[in-house]
Structure 1
Amino acid sequence: MSHQKRFSNSKIILLSIFIFLFGVTIGLSQSNKVPALSSSVYDELKVFADVLSHLQKDYVEETKSKDLIYGAIKGMLETLDPHSGFMPPETFKEMQAETKGRFEGLGIEITMKDGILTVVAPIEDTPAFRAGILAGDQIIKIDGELTKNLTLMDSVKKMRGPKGSQVTITIMREGLAKPRDFALTRDVIPVRSVRHELLEKQYGYIRISQFQEKTDSEFEKAVKALEEESKGGLKGLILDLRNNPGGLLDQAVKVSDRFIDSGIIVSIEGRKEELKQKFQAHAQGTLPRYPLIVLVSGGSASGSEIVAGAIQDHHRGIILGTQTFGKGSVQTIFPLKDGAGLRLTTARYYTPSGRSIQAKGIVPDIIVKLSKPEEEKETTPPKMPTEKDLERHLDTQKVVPKEKVRKEEGKEKEKKPADNQMERALELLKSWDVFKSVAQGK
């Protein structure tokens, strides 16, 4: 059966930047037009030109005009929300490569929380993940240099590097008496965005770590593989979006479209009329309506929140886990003439029911906190940063209806499994099957 879905959009829309930055983005803008400036702005630019002139002529040491201008641009953007930023040519080039699913580094998404460099989530099977870096960890030093003196982009640049090179990051974690050093060896990060597994009998599991260029096609292959392995057909599916920071919007929409046959998937609204879009679901290619449970966490953001929000609003499945990050804004990537890039917040997005999850997140239908193995309980787990923790975060514009948890949290077993959230999801799928059989008198 073909699961091919239709999707037309001339822009590439990013919902997270995999340079280890955390953010939402509306794509590579193809426009090279520079908007006209008002006369008052030109007057203010004269002041800038005067300052630049004095720096070049009168500063105690010789200065480079490009460094000064880049610094001024960074300063302008730092007055905006935390997801807008300037990317020098090298960084912009790396960002473009990363959306294709391959880059070199440590494998973590980072953000600034209260002025402190903070881990949003480690990427699976990467140097950072294997070393035990956790969501919520504060990176206070990189190779001995205090990060409080670095911008987010500068921190990214210092952690990047060729495969085999080393970097030491100093972590402060809630519960630790003192900072801890992690010596990490950089590696190729071949981010495999989709993996699957057939669980007991006919229950499928699909994990999406990020939304990249080929995520939807990989997802389609995963579903087909599970259907073939299950022989009698799937009785239920677990979609794991935990610690998924987002990615390409069109891929998040396409994956959502697999489960929803009609109606709105997500709406985008910006100041400019051209940024107002509604992405619709289509009947063609919709998967069979078997029971669906979506796993989310505090590290699930933007693209993964779009998928979870669409499934929740359309009552297509149950959302299980903990409250998501709350990344409800969208950024546009503007290529600049010298090879640099501008990442600018240009819109907000809304779930099918009109909810803005900006700084709020998606509240699961069933709240189940992830249990820790006994050997990991020596320290208190760090508090996950959320969108509302970020300096200068955008406020929610629309009134957000108060969400209610529609299910009670599952009772904890005397001995919790290694992944109690997954175990709980599988139990629910089995119960679903039992109730269906009873209802049919089998």
Structure 2
Amino acid sequence: MQLRLTFHNPFKDKPTLSKIALVISAIIIFGVGIGLGISYQKSRIPGPRPYEPVMSPVGVSNTEPPAALHQETDFSIFWDTWKMVQEKYVGRSKLNYQKMVYGAIEGMLGSLDDPYTTFFDPEENEQFQEEISGKFQGIGVELALKNGIPTVIAPIENTPAYRAGIKSKDQIVAVGSTSTIGISLEQTIGMIRGPEGTMVTLSVLREGWTEPKKFEIQRAIIKILGVSLEYPAPDTAYLKIRNFYEATATDFRTKALEVMISGKKNIILDLRSNPGGYVDLAVQFSSWFLPPHSTVLQEDRGNGMFVCDDCSVGPIGGVFKDKNIVILVDGGTASASEIMAGALKDHLNAKLIGEQTFGKGSAQEVHDITSQASLKVTIAKWFTPNGTNIDGTGLKPDIEIKNDPDSSEDAQLKKAIEILSQ
């Protein structure tokens, strides 16, 4: 199985399983960088030795090297280390060889310095599949690794984390008494998640704070909402997209048809706190707004920018292309939601209102390595139709305005209504 993602964490679109895009940030999983384990090294004194697996007392299977193995890579250092551990390590009688293999894989991926390329062992893979299904037990927060620290992309609306006051860009520096610095995102997620009704304490550092503050939050069953539709002003439709997961696709089509039937001239597209999801859905949703054959994004898979087969609107599109459109964005607007915002800005000159977006400009694929374990690997960088690279910087709003956290008024939405009424 192969999934194409731009999350998060994300996180299988049945229509095109080979190209499911999750830009992941994850529901609490969006990018992962693991720097532990064993890294393969080049040790060539005097030259590479043959690929020589050392059999463990419990047996090692599938030891044949791949046909395309890099001939100058000396794998003997790995097997020498493996042998020394099983012969010398004081706890050798209790070694978990499968765990050692997982650690070696994690160490290899950690050497790539890419927080979004990660290995999911069976337990982590189960969590990942649960999260992208749209229902799981936890506190309801989207996380990514930023500068090695688990950072909130966005709290999910109407969840324990949201009600507790967790904000986009908050850094989770500890869970309970355990520091999250230097551990993988999956380990942090594993500590945060737990049975419904139990409590978890997060130590949170926020911009402007000199010390972390503790948040005690009760876990619950989290069901991720998709799309909502309101009419906040005459002739104006307000369409809020919360993610680009599979379950959201039908919801979006239903709401988009309602907008079309309503005949409203103005559309406010709210992509705030949207962590992303499948790239395919970003293209599908954008096709309601963009003319046929419009480019939604460009990709670079190591050989320069190009427009991939599934990166453009098809022969039918542009239902809303003549509407007046503004887009609400913030620091929680990430990945697939940045793709959509960038495409509408480049093609329709749609105004972005709010705060600078998260800045995740890469796409991942998920491959099953075994029936229980999987690999999420970055396969491309993506760019807006005009070739803008948003990775690490995000999209800058045309009208920058922050909501007052102590006020119930949505100043960003109010500004959008004001602009459309002019």
With structure 2 as the length reference, what TM-score do the two structures score?
Answer: 0.81
| Alignment root-mean-square deviation, CA | 2.5
Q: 1:54 maps to what in 2?
A: 84
Q: 1:318 maps to what in 2?
A: 351
Deviation at 1:282, TM superposition (A): 3.3
| Whole-angstrom distance in 1 between the partners of 2:375 and 2:394 | 26
Contact 1:372 1:418 in 2 (8 A): no
Counterpart selection for 2:277 from 247, 254, 276: 247
Deviation at 1:120, TM superposition (A): 2.1
| Whole-angstrom distance in 1 between the partners of 2:251 and 2:354 | 24
What one-letter code is carried by the residue in structure 2 that aligns with 1:290? Answer: K
| Whole-angstrom distance in 2 between the partners of 1:77 and 1:194 | 35
Deviation at 1:179, TM superposition (A): 3.0
Change (3 A) 1:103 1:78: same
Q: 2:20 maps to what in 1?
A: 12
Contact 1:291 1:429 in 2 (8 A): yes
What one-letter code is carried by the residue in structure 2 that aligns with 1:306? Answer: I
The number of aligned residues is 370
Contact 1:17 1:95 in 2 (8 A): no
Q: 1:115 maps to what in 2?
A: 148
Change (3 A) 1:261 1:34: farther
Unaligned 5+ segments in structure 1 are 1-6, 25-32, 375-416, 432-442
Q: 2:138 maps to what in 1?
A: 105
Change (3 A) 1:360 1:148: closer
| Whole-angstrom distance in 2 between the partners of 1:191 and 1:12 | 19
| Whole-angstrom distance in 1 between the partners of 2:240 and 2:308 | 28
Q: 1:419 maps to what in 2?
A: 410
Deviation at 1:175, TM superposition (A): 4.0
What one-letter code is carried by the residue in structure 1 that aligns with 2:298? Answer: S
| Whole-angstrom distance in 1 between the partners of 2:223 and 2:282 | 20
Q: Which secondary structure state, in structure 1, belongs to the residue aligned with residue 23 of structure 2?
A: coil
Q: Deviations over 1:38-86 (max 9, x none)?
A: 2223xx2221011011111210113211122211211221222111111
| Whole-angstrom distance in 2 between the partners of 1:276 and 1:35 | 31
Counterpart selection for 1:211 from 236, 244, 247: 244
Q: 1:267 maps to what in 2?
A: 298
Deviation at 1:101, TM superposition (A): 1.5
Q: Deviations over 1:185-237 (max 9, x none)?
A: 21121111211111122211111111011323211211233455x5xx21211
Q: 1:428 maps to what in 2?
A: 419
Q: Which secondary structure state, in structure 2, belongs to the residue aligned with residue 40 of structure 1?
A: coil
Q: Which secondary structure state, in structure 1, belongs to the residue aligned with residue 421 of structure 2?
A: helix
Counterpart selection for 2:404 from 353, 356, 371: 371
Contact 1:56 1:65 in 2 (8 A): no
Q: Deviations over 1:295-321 (max 9, x none)?
A: 111221110110011101102522222
Unaligned 5+ segments in structure 2 are 1-14, 33-64
Which residues of 2 match residues 105-184 of structure 1 at below 5 A?
105-176=138-209, 178-184=211-217
Please say if 1:296 is aligned against 2:329: yes
Q: 1:377 maps to what in 2?
A: none
Change (3 A) 1:10 1:345: closer
Q: 2:44 maps to what in 1?
A: none
Change (3 A) 1:348 1:179: closer
Q: 1:37 maps to what in 2?
A: 69
Contact 2:297 2:307 in 1 (8 A): no
Counterpart selection for 1:282 from 304, 307, 314: 314
Contact 1:16 1:248 in 2 (8 A): no
Contact 2:196 2:219 in 1 (8 A): yes
Please say if 1:73 is aligned against 2:105: yes
With structure 1 as the length reference, what TM-score do the two structures score?
Answer: 0.78
Change (3 A) 1:65 1:272: farther
Deviation at 1:346, TM superposition (A): 1.4
| Whole-angstrom distance in 2 between the partners of 1:148 and 1:372 | 28
Deviation at 1:365, TM superposition (A): 2.3
Deviation at 1:177, TM superposition (A): 5.5
| Whole-angstrom distance in 2 between the partners of 1:349 and 1:308 | 13
Identity %: 37
Please say if 1:84 is aligned against 2:117: yes
